Structure 1
Amino acid sequence: MSTTNGPADVTRAPADDPAALTEIERRVLWLSTAIIDAANRRGDPSGLKVGGHQASSASMVTIMTALWFEHLRAGDRVSVKPHASPVLHAINYLLGELDERYLPTLRAFGGLQSYPSRSKDPDPVDYSTGSVGIGATAPIWGALARRYVEGHFGGAGEGRQYSLVGDAELDEGAVWEAILDPMVGELGEIVWIVDLNRQSLDRVVPAIGAPRIEGMFAAAGWQVLTVKYGRLLHELFARPGGDALRARIDGMSNPEYQRLLRCDADEVRTRLPDGNAELARLVADLDDATLLAAVRNLGGHDVAALGEAFDAIDDSRPTVVLAYTVKGHGLATAGHPQNHGSILTAAQMADLATDLGTDVDDPWRRFPDGSAAARLCATTARRLHREAPDVDPVPALPTDIGRTPTGRATTQAALGRALLDLTRETPDAASRVVTLCPDVSSSTNLGGWVNKVGVWSTAERKDWFDDDPETILHWRERPTGQHLELGIAEGNLVGALGELGATWSRWGRPVLPIGVLYDPFVERALEPWSFGIYAGGQSILVGTPSGVSLAPEGGAHQSITTPSVGLEQPGCVTYEPAFAIDVEWTLLASLARLGQPDGTSAYLRLSTRPVDQSLAAVPEDPAARERRRRQVVAGAYPLRRAAGEPDLTIAAMGAMVTEALAAADRLAGQGHAVDVVCVTSPGLLFGALQSRAGRPAAAQAEPWVLDSAFPARRAAPLVTLLDGHPHTLAFLAGINRVPAVHLGVTRFGQSGDLASVYAHHGLDADAVVGAALDLL
């Protein structure tokens, strides 16, 4: 597999000088260890432990040296396990991609991040990692995103997507959710390399179950390559007693093996034979250095063994390489069950420097000019060099398609309507949109859109129900489709969403990804989606249906905290539209913020409750309509103004606007003048309030909207109302410092008709009127 992303005259080839590769491996071990040592010697004035993971880094040194200096190509991408970030920085330094001044700055403010960060580290990082399981699976979705971009727009080239994974990370359910998705089996560019060091944070894992792991990957259709032993052990296996040696090592438990690593040669000679005379004779014939090297000679620390495995990768299906390693390999702490966060002492660092031929007083010394190691570094740097892509501009999006919805409609259905309108009004912009669902396309009203644009797949597939007259949703799968359907795993959905949202920065080809899932499951998907935003992925997440308005479904399918979650999520603008026109305007505004260096993600919370669209009272005058649109996008707009000064303001969000208007009518009948404000984005309003006070706020926050929706001259006691936790809107009382009552949902719901459910939670018009009278 070639690549179009690097210099055409530079091809992958094994290092001509194995000694130079060994010298680089030893230097990478030193640099990664010294980076952590420098961070801890720097200390923290507060007394907090700085931390770092010397042992976890050491177990990856050989794997990463072999991969970078012999096998990677410019078009490849690598996700590095979080605790091996110093190894990545060490390699980038040797390749000239990291300035020396950063090496002592691990975990310092403005320095190297604690874990690889695509958006915050000063050197090249392909994938942000740090949240266990999420960084590991990111290259799966990166492979999918690359194929999508290449098929639709070109320019993404080719290349493998590597994940360097710690074996303990395989405990995460997110890993297996991703591996088992049917679409993944078709992505042959995916390669996982598992650092099988058989230790977790606290202990040696008694039974890591490598054969079981092999079987699970194989059952998912992956190629499984196991690199267990190095050349020295294979040589010993061929000697008399070698079969007994292999059987003994294969049969011993992980803790017993790890204990051997802490023994001197005499102890190994006593423990290893375990009563086998033939094995005792073999061990007795070995000198101390060879014996100690043999028990450490695992495949993950043998460049040649790793190279054979990498050369055997079958690009027709995903591959996993299980590389046996020793945690802390090459360090004084090697194999100790509590070495996870341990730091070498000054004396141990000095001994290590001596062993590796470096100098503790000159820790960042480079290879001499003209040396074989320096030449190999330069050759590798040329081979892996990637120019920053020129980013295609996103085709211009309209701000208002011009329709004024009538009749009764839901905001959920309005999403599908808006997407279809976009294909007609601006087909160039619509061609950049890709939607994703975890098997809920029809129930979230995307059927029309899916029928229009088709379903994406790596190859065209026959739709066997295409001629069935009773089939409404047509499942036409082809490489040109713009809808991606994943299995029922929300983590997979938002993982793909994040990587599709990063294509503008990876290959200069922006797409506009929209993921739709049930709102009660947003919190399940929140961590991987948030991590995708942190890594630079810009996307739109749509949660629908939402709240207790999904009354018959019961408490298990009613979301409560999602409005405030959206308010608090960095890098994201949250909207909860009340009317179909609000959906259109906020969706278009959210799409316009994607695919650019200063872009922002969005979360839209929609409802299945039908609402009379005439209540929106959309102005007919073009200038007034545009003013309303700007207010909707900025976070709130006055839906009804009382004549004269108001006695009360009701601020409502989403589906609850109908109750707010009904309560306002009843209060007016009792002689109380009421303003009704429709809130579309509590996050933007809070940002506007912060900005007005001179505090940091998101760039999208517009302070003028506060004067537009909540002018001081109309300040009055306030009732806030939403189908979610009431504290989401509680800050609104601080805009004009008025007394307030906040209505919302604070308990798990239950099934029932809408009126009963609203009454149960105190959301109906009766509750609003009662709260208002308490204030008045």
Structure 2
Amino acid sequence: MSDHHAQSTILENLEKKALWLSTWTIHHANSIRPKSDSLKVGGHQASSASLSTLMAVLYGAVLQPEDRVAVKPHASPIFHAWQYLLGRQTRENLENFRGFGGAQSYPSRTKDADDVDFSTGSVGLGGAMAVFSAMVQDYVAAKGWGKRASGRMISILGDAELDEGNLYEALLEGKKHDLRNCWWFIDYNRQSLDAVTKDAQNAFFRDVFSSMGWEVVELKYGSLLEAAFAEPGGKQLRDWIDGCSNQIYAALTFSGGAAWREQLLNDLGDQGDVSHLIESRTDDELARLMTNLGGHDQRSLMQTIASIDHDRPVCFILYTVKGYGLPFAGHKDNHSGQINSAQLGILRDAHQIRTGHEWDLFEGLPRPASEYDAFLNQVPFIAQGCRRYTAARINVPELTPVSAKAALSTQEGFGKLLDDLARGSSPLSDRILTMAPDVATSTGLAGWVNRKGVFAKTPIADEFRDRGIASMQKWAASPEGAHIELGIAEMNLFTLLGAAGLSHALFGERLIPIGTLYDPFIERGKDALNYACYQDARFIVAATPSGITLAPEGGAHQSIGTPLIGISQDGLASFEPAFVDELSCILEWSFDYLQRDGEEAPEPGDWLRDETGGSVYLRLSTHKLEQPTRTLGDGLRRDIVNGGYWLRKPGPGCTLVIAYTGVVAAEAIAAAGRIGQDQRDIGVLAITSADRLNAGWHAADRARALGHPNAQSHVETLLSEVSRDAAIVTVTDGHPLALSWLGSVLGQRVRPLGVEHFGQTGSIADLYRAHRIDADAIMRAAELSLNGRPLRLARIS
């Protein structure tokens, strides 16, 4: 036997071994492992089986260390099986599949122990992540930073997964940005969770991908079928297959050889050659022939992949059978189904697995274990060891305070801070990459882009500039640019932020990604934002303008619930500064926070787990406020970053606190000034981050429960300066729930003001009055909080 043939045989054996391991892993979790509750553990035996051949070809032969793969969520078990074979997953984790601390239900780069490049789980996002990671790889290479060969950014998707609209948004962006080195493998098993998919989807996929500049490769027939087509009568058989509906093909696959024979003879009739082709095969041979699709033929897959000799994006449409090699192959209910114990026993015998040896790496394989071990040790995918890179931290210089001689908005301040960074070259500014979904000019990025330029792999002329036509935008496009301008699709923005925010781990080169968008449209991209945070990507998102303060734009552009997203989103530190000096120290801290990767040890001072690092969300406004004249000392800077400080310290007899966040500072200050005529010890609490105050409070509470009785959070320290009998009026241009929890910290009474309903067009004064967040409303809330006692002062007009 030739060495090449021996290697092919070994890989075919390992394909079957991985199929057994994935099937057994799920069966063990559901039917053997003791349960502590009545929930079905679940798993996807059929979805893993349809990818058995592709996973063998990729992980056993094709993938190089620099390639990155987003594995179809429902193929998690067979992915883990291959990592187990390659020595990157443990038996303990497989035995605990979908258990606490075990191999995850869907591949997770943060929760799994094995080599997961991209988390998947919200279907469709893996494909988009591959697109934008390829774009980030090109960006790094264009800067001359990449020290490694370019890899292929690969996504494995189920055909039903392509119903997700975000995939087509990503394809459009890839087309605009000359996408390269991106491969999608579509597992065309023609089944979804609930049903068999509609016929001729392959033609739709072919048309869409071709129009986007992708090469489309269809692998429909395996070598057995191709050989049968060459026989007399083979053309009729091929024509029948091409015209067969997905439902009939799936039903016959499940029913087996006798059903295939009956259907084929009935449909094709007595046609001599084709009848002989059918009758010359036993039922088992006929079933094997009719399910010998291209996606289950290793030789065809290997040859097809090897034939790709360019870096253009490629879409491989792999015809497969859902549940291939398992008793319920083809059955329309097999997505969440599992083979029973009797069927498992038959499968065990077919794979020659001895009872008690189900987890053994090479159990049941026909060749010596040493040959399989030697084969796996030389697999290219693991040739360079760890594939998750690190990058040095970039020094963060002190940001120059923005000169505020006149009223200024936080959006303007954000733009000025970035513009100052762009004026000179520094390690930090060189690594900042900005991006926006067609709103760079209206979200504060114009100055940065004018200085840094737009990124393009090849220079693009600015005809307006070249013709001497005056324009505020000097957007030269070249490989030297540091801004990626996206189309109007927030899902794309957050997916690109996620890809760029993983550049240090994927490509060994650190980026500081900053994305801007209108605050209400965070909700349009929330799935991708959550996806980016789940992967521990590191980025800054500046959302502006925000709230009903964007008054003339109307209710569709006025955000309400985004502060709650900032509080609830894991991996994202949320800030809403009122003043530009606050923003300056928050942004300086954020540049460092993005780069941290320490242990989960809480700081005793505030109980925030800041050493782990994370991403940052800045909620900014276009409303200009008079800026305070002050110098921020170390203590105040620390308080600002930790979430809040006393703008007006409460006196010893304080019975009322006004706590505000963000742009309503002016209303809170005005109301406090008037109320101070009657309540001289009134305190004004400036909350720069309700998220971090809340997180510290919960962390300290957990610490006390775990035996640290003296643990005290920053918000507890602040509110301890006020009697528990004091009242708190909270005000925010967002949902009042964002601050109403303050009353639970030490038990003070809270009257929360905020926005609970859609806005409309109008002036700021009109809308503030209508939604009861103006100074007069704060004063009325203060009266009610003081047991209804009228304040002895005039209303604010």
**TM-score, structure 1 as length reference:** 0.93
1:72 aligns to 2:86 (yes or no): no
Match 2:269 to one of 276, 283, 290? 276
What is the CA–CA distance in structure 2 between the aligned matches of 1:617 and 1:642, rounded to whole Å? 21
What is the CA–CA distance in structure 2 between the aligned matches of 1:90 and 1:564, rounded to whole Å? 39
Match 1:358 to one of 328, 353, 365? 353
What is the CA–CA distance in structure 2 between the aligned matches of 1:211 and 1:84, rounded to whole Å? 25
Q: Report the more deviating stretch, 658-667 or 143-152.
A: 143-152
Secondary structure at the counterpart of residue 466 of structure 1: helix
Q: Counterpart of 2:429?
A: 430
Q: How far did 1:69 drift?
A: 1.7
Deviations, residues 112-162 of structure 1 (Å, cap 9, x unaligned):
011101111111111111111112221112112222223332224311111
Q: Counterpart of 1:599?
A: 613
Instruction: Map 1:646-661 onto structure 2 (within 5 A).
Output: 646-661=654-669
What is the CA–CA distance in structure 1 between the aligned matches of 2:197 and 2:243, rounded to whole Å? 15
- 1:72–1:384 Cα contact (<8 Å) kept: no
Instruction: Map 1:301-450 onto structure 2 (within 5 A).
Output: 301-367=296-362, 371-380=370-379, 384-387=383-386, 391-424=390-423, 427-450=426-449
Q: Structure 1 pair 592/271, CA: closer, same or farther in 2 (3 Å)?
A: same
Q: Counterpart of 1:553?
A: 553
Q: Counterpart of 1:727?
A: 737
- 2:146–2:507 Cα contact (<8 Å) kept: no
Q: Structure 1 pair 438/360, CA: closer, same or farther in 2 (3 Å)?
A: farther
Q: Counterpart of 1:54?
A: 45
Letter in structure 2 aligned against 1:292:
A
Q: Structure 1 pair 491/710, CA: closer, same or farther in 2 (3 Å)?
A: farther
Q: Structure 1 pair 709/542, CA: closer, same or farther in 2 (3 Å)?
A: farther
Q: Counterpart of 1:4?
A: none
Secondary structure at the counterpart of residue 33 of structure 1: helix
What is the CA–CA distance in structure 2 between the aligned matches of 1:66 and 1:418, rounded to whole Å? 50
Q: Counterpart of 2:80?
A: 89
Q: Counterpart of 1:63?
A: 54
Q: Structure 1 pair 713/427, CA: closer, same or farther in 2 (3 Å)?
A: farther
What is the CA–CA distance in structure 2 between the aligned matches of 1:310 and 1:390, rounded to whole Å? 27
Letter in structure 1 aligned against 2:116:
V
- 1:465–1:471 Cα contact (<8 Å) kept: yes
Q: Structure 1 pair 536/668, CA: closer, same or farther in 2 (3 Å)?
A: closer
5+ residue gaps, structure 1 = 1-12
Q: Counterpart of 2:487?
A: 487
Secondary structure at the counterpart of residue 693 of structure 1: helix
Q: Counterpart of 2:230?
A: 238
Letter in structure 2 aligned against 1:771:
A
Deviations, residues 717-774 of structure 1 (Å, cap 9, x unaligned):
1100000000110111223322221000000111111111111111111111111111
Q: Report the more deviating stretch, 470-479 or 95-104.
A: 95-104
1:20 aligns to 2:10 (yes or no): yes
What is the CA–CA distance in structure 1 between the aligned matches of 2:6 and 2:256, rounded to whole Å? 36
Q: Report the more deviating stretch, 648-657 or 41-50.
A: 41-50
Instruction: Map 1:609-624 onto structure 2 (within 5 A).
Output: 609-613=623-627, 616-619=628-631
Secondary structure at the counterpart of residue 408 of structure 1: coil
Q: CA RMSD in A?
A: 2.2
Secondary structure at the counterpart of residue 522 of structure 2: helix
- 2:454–2:475 Cα contact (<8 Å) kept: yes
Letter in structure 1 aligned against 2:623:
R
Q: How far did 1:208 drift?
A: 5.2
Q: Report the more deviating stretch, 652-661 or 101-110.
A: 101-110
Letter in structure 2 aligned against 1:507:
F
Deviations, residues 450-506 of structure 1 (Å, cap 9, x unaligned):
011111122222222223342111121122221111111111111110111112222
- 1:149–1:509 Cα contact (<8 Å) kept: yes
What is the CA–CA distance in structure 2 between the aligned matches of 1:389 and 1:24, rounded to whole Å? 25
What is the CA–CA distance in structure 1 between the aligned matches of 2:368 and 2:646, rounded to whole Å? 70
What is the CA–CA distance in structure 1 between the aligned matches of 2:399 and 2:259, rounded to whole Å? 79
What is the CA–CA distance in structure 2 between the aligned matches of 1:695 and 1:760, rounded to whole Å? 42
Q: Structure 1 pair 472/15, CA: closer, same or farther in 2 (3 Å)?
A: farther
Q: Report the more deviating stretch, 631-640 or 734-743.
A: 734-743
Secondary structure at the counterpart of residue 156 of structure 2: strand
Match 2:646 to one of 638, 663, 681? 638
Secondary structure at the counterpart of residue 27 of structure 1: helix
- 1:394–1:429 Cα contact (<8 Å) kept: no
What is the CA–CA distance in structure 1 between the aligned matches of 2:156 and 2:370, rounded to whole Å? 30
What is the CA–CA distance in structure 2 between the aligned matches of 1:389 and 1:53, rounded to whole Å? 27
Q: Counterpart of 2:717?
A: 707
Q: Structure 1 pair 183/216, CA: closer, same or farther in 2 (3 Å)?
A: closer
- 2:657–2:726 Cα contact (<8 Å) kept: yes
- 2:651–2:680 Cα contact (<8 Å) kept: no
Q: Structure 1 pair 389/95, CA: closer, same or farther in 2 (3 Å)?
A: closer
Q: Counterpart of 1:9?
A: none
- 1:465–1:474 Cα contact (<8 Å) kept: no
Secondary structure at the counterpart of residue 378 of structure 2: helix
Q: Counterpart of 1:575?
A: 575
Q: Report the more deviating stretch, 391-400 or 69-78.
A: 391-400
Q: Structure 1 pair 549/33, CA: closer, same or farther in 2 (3 Å)?
A: same
5+ residue gaps, structure 2 = 598-611, 706-710, 787-797
Q: How far did 1:703 drift?
A: 2.1
What is the CA–CA distance in structure 1 between the aligned matches of 2:4 and 2:305, rounded to whole Å? 11
- 1:639–1:676 Cα contact (<8 Å) kept: yes
**TM-score, structure 2 as length reference:** 0.91
Number of positions where the alignment pairs a residue of Structure 1 with one of Structure 2 = 755
1:169 aligns to 2:161 (yes or no): yes
What is the CA–CA distance in structure 2 between the aligned matches of 1:27 and 1:691, rounded to whole Å? 46
Secondary structure at the counterpart of residue 676 of structure 2: helix
Q: Structure 1 pair 291/182, CA: closer, same or farther in 2 (3 Å)?
A: closer
Q: Structure 1 pair 502/763, CA: closer, same or farther in 2 (3 Å)?
A: same
- 1:518–1:545 Cα contact (<8 Å) kept: yes
Q: Report the more deviating stretch, 637-646 or 485-494.
A: 637-646
Q: Counterpart of 2:247?
A: 255
Q: Counterpart of 2:460?
A: 461
What is the CA–CA distance in structure 1 between the aligned matches of 2:49 and 2:387, rounded to whole Å? 31
Q: Counterpart of 1:10?
A: none
Q: How far did 1:95 drift?
A: 1.4
Q: Counterpart of 2:793?
A: none
Q: Structure 1 pair 156/480, CA: closer, same or farther in 2 (3 Å)?
A: farther
Q: Structure 1 pair 643/34, CA: closer, same or farther in 2 (3 Å)?
A: closer
What is the CA–CA distance in structure 2 between the aligned matches of 1:338 and 1:370, rounded to whole Å? 37
1:511 aligns to 2:540 (yes or no): no
- 1:29–1:87 Cα contact (<8 Å) kept: yes
Q: Structure 1 pair 387/370, CA: closer, same or farther in 2 (3 Å)?
A: same
- 1:52–1:114 Cα contact (<8 Å) kept: yes
Q: Structure 1 pair 94/461, CA: closer, same or farther in 2 (3 Å)?
A: same
Match 1:265 to one of 244, 253, 257? 257
Secondary structure at the counterpart of residue 17 of structure 1: helix
What is the CA–CA distance in structure 1 between the aligned matches of 2:413 and 2:13, rounded to whole Å? 62
What is the CA–CA distance in structure 1 between the aligned matches of 2:421 and 2:200, rounded to whole Å? 52
Q: Structure 1 pair 52/288, CA: closer, same or farther in 2 (3 Å)?
A: same
